[in-house]
Amino acid sequence: MIGDSGTNRIGFRILQGAGGAVFPLSFSIIKDEFPPEQVGIAVGAVSAVFAVGGPRA
């Protein structure tokens, strides 16, 4: 299996952390690039995408 070795687990944890760092960064990019009246719509759209693609409990 993929997660059997410690090296793979560490590598995948690093990848997971990098992916988690994208979430707050996306809000900064939205605030910088979108006009003020469209920021709320863009933040809602990004949040919905992350919610749908997020971890399953």
- pLDDT tens profile 5-30: 888 889 888 988 887 788 888 899 99
Q: Do 26 and 32 contact (CB within 8 A), yes or no? A: no
Work out the pLDDT band at 33, boundaries 50, 70, 90: very high
Mean pLDDT of 53-57: 61
Q: Do 5 and 21 contact (CB within 8 A), yes or no? A: no
Smallest Cα–Cα separation from 42: which of 53, 28, 55? Answer: 28
Higher pLDDT, 41 or 53: 41
pTM: 0.61
Q: Provide the b/e sequence for 11-40 (b: ≥16 CB within 10 Å).
A: eeeeeeeeeeeeeeebeeebeeeeeeeeee
Q: Do 43 and 51 contact (CB within 8 A), yes or no? A: no
Per-residue pLDDT, 57: 45
